[in-house]
Structure 1
Amino acid sequence: MPLQLPSHPGPATMSIGMVRAANDLSPAFAGADQQIRRKGSRYALTFTMPSLSYTEAMPWMTDLAAEGDTVIMDVVQPGLVIPAGGDPRVLGGGQAGATLTIDGLDAGYAIRKGQFFSLITSAQRYLYRAAQAVTANASGVAVIPLQTMLRRPPADNDVVEIVQPKIEGYVRDFDDPEVQTDHEVVLTFTIRERR
């Protein structure tokens, strides 16, 4: 079962990385380069936490060092104010490709280009990013172009987390940090989606 990391304090920084599944093709003799999109591209976010006291850092260090468990962390989108705007759900199961159709939004609800959202399918979160800005129609339906292809076909009515997206994955690049002489700890870690 995934471990939910604390939402407070929020990270001091977040770096956005991508584990790419696309194939780059370069011809041996002349011709144009090509890139073939494939499902499987996913995100790897690196977080640096603000300076914490050792006692504040203890729960973080315990969860981040857990073996065999995935963790869930809020995705930071500084300066982006995201209104509630309804109860977004997947509209129609079995979707594939590089778009996701959702409903349950308020009419006219806007999703910005580059905005993250997460999708819960079969009890696992998948993080996606809108490739273009979209606005929900009068029925609350929006077709979101995705930066990456859908990795797993969602079911009808799967939950879409727009207001507070989350990443779920395994912790990478984390070693128990040094405790500084002032008893402060700075944690840096990467969460990479598993698939």
Structure 2
Amino acid sequence: MPVLALPSTPAPSSMGVQLLTNKNVLVSALGGDEQERQRKGSRYALTFQLPPMRYVTAMAWDDLNAEGVTVLMRVYQPGFNTGAPGTPLVKGAGQAGTTLIVDGLTNGYVIRKGQFLSVVTNGRRYLYRAAADVTVAGGQASIPLRTMLRYPPADNDVVEIAQPMIEGFVRELSEQVVGVDRMTQFSFTVRERG
């Protein structure tokens, strides 16, 4: 399946974050305690609102209309400087659960709670968020994740911390109306594949 990279400019004027959870909630029929079971498969949907732009500029975004393909879009974290994390790679194959062990990081770098990161496994990106602050020591970090790893990464898979990306299908593409001033504005959602 082809993956089309979307433009990086103009930057979105806003980004909405939605967690598409795969958890299972167990409710007792007799009024007992409720339980939540975390399961693999939770993923993200990001909604981007683009600023007003000239129609000619908007033509670069035409890949949003492509059918049967996935797109690749930069995750924006406005006001947050990701800094210089180093060259992060997965440390050890077959990881599972809600912790990702990474090496190749810059000593002293802090991964912040809520910070996005993407893992590239078998040519496909998986988007995650850190569940707590972690300071890198010895070039390594065990990053607690908000959701479970959806697919076990291989040793030395790339971890994108400086510029995380979401890969998925375009959903909810708004109508693109061009005014008499030749300006247009639209929004769209990128939903990760399951």
Paired AA for residue 88 in structure 2: P
Q: State the partner residue of 1:148.
A: 147
Q: How does 1:179-190 map to 2 (within 5 A)?
A: 179-190=178-189
Paired AA for residue 114 in structure 1: G
* Percent identical residues: 54
Q: State the partner residue of 2:106.
A: 106
TM-score, structure 2 length as denominator? 0.97
1:22 correspondence with 2:23: yes
Q: Which moved more, 1:3-12 or 1:22-31?
A: 22-31
Q: Post-superposition shift, 1:19?
A: 1.1
Which runs of no fewer than 5 residues in structure 1 stay unpaired? none
Paired AA for residue 162 in structure 1: I
Distance 2:67 2:121 in 1: 23
Q: State the partner residue of 1:166.
A: 165
Q: How does 1:63-78 map to 2 (within 5 A)?
A: 63-78=63-78
Does the residue aligned with 2:181 lie in a helix, a strand or coil? coil
Q: State the partner residue of 1:191.
A: 190
Q: Which runs of 4+ in 1 moved over 3 A?
A: none
Q: State the partner residue of 1:8.
A: 9
CA RMSD of aligned residues (A): 0.9
Q: How does 1:21-170 map to 2 (within 5 A)?
A: 21-60=22-61, 62-137=62-137, 139-170=138-169
Q: Post-superposition shift, 1:176?
A: 4.0
Does the residue aligned with 2:178 lie in a helix, a strand or coil? coil
Distance 1:72 1:48 in 2: 16
User: How many residues end up aligned between the 2 structures?
Assistant: 193
TM-score, structure 1 length as denominator? 0.96
Q: Post-superposition shift, 1:107?
A: 1.4
Deviations 1:70-113 (A, max 9, x none): 10111010111111231100000110001100000111111000
Q: Post-superposition shift, 1:181?
A: 2.5
Paired AA for residue 170 in structure 1: F
* Aligned partners of 2:101 and 2:143 also within 8 Å: yes
Q: Which moved more, 1:111-120 or 1:174-183?
A: 174-183
